[in-house]
Amino acid sequence: MEETKKIILLEDDRSSARLVSTFLETKGYDVRESHEGRFAIEMALKEKPDLMIVDVLLPDMHGSEAVKQICATEANHDLKVLFLTSLLSKKTAPDKEARLTVAGKEYPAISKPFKPALLEKVVHRLLAGDN
C-alpha cells in the first residue's frame, strides 16, 4: 500500500485554504494548513512534507521568503513547491501553469482563481517526482 503524501498548504485566506484542502483531501492527500509563513516554516521542519503549496502574499512575510527559509534546511532542500497566487491572474490564464524563481530555483505556479483539474495535474506531477 502506497504511503499517503503529505502536503502543507500555506494560505492566509481561510476560506480559500479550506477549499484547496478539501479538494486535495478528496484526492487522497493528507493536507495540513498554515495561515502564516512563520508557522508553515515550523510545520515544514517538524513534519517534512512531500509538497508545499504556497500563496505569495501573506500577512507576516512573502511566501517566497518562507520557501527560501524552508528549502535552506538540509531536510527540506529538495522539497517540491507549488505557488498558488492571485499575482499571476492578469498574466497567466487560469488553465495554464507559470514559473516563479526563488533564490535561483524555478517553481511551478498557478494563478488564483485556479482550475481544479490543473491543480490536481500539477500536484500529481510534482509528487511523482517531475518538476
Mean pLDDT of 79-90: 83
What is the value of pTM for the model shown?
0.91
The whole-chain average pLDDT of the chain stands at 89
Provide the percentage of residues in the chain whose pLDDT is more than 70: 91
Average pLDDT (5-29) is 96
Q: Span 99-119, mean pLDDT?
A: 89
Q: 75 pLDDT band (50/70/90 cuts)? A: confident
pLDDT, tens digit, 9 for 90 and up, residues 10-19: 999 999 999 9
Region at 128 (left for phi over 0; alpha for psi -120 to 50; beta for the rest): alpha
Distances (CA, A) of 71 to 20, 25, 85, 122: 23, 24, 19, 20
Give residue for cell 500555506.
10
Q: Which amino acid is at 12?
A: D
| CATH code given to domain 6-127 | 3.40.50.2300
Residue 119 one-letter amino acid: L
Q: In this structure, what C-alpha cell is assigned to residue 111?
A: 494563478
Q: Which residues of 82-118 are buried (b: 16+ CB within 10 A; e: fewer)?
A: bbbbebbeeebeeeebbebebeeeebbbbbbebeeeb
Q: What angle do CA 121, 124, 127 make, to 5 degrees?
A: 145
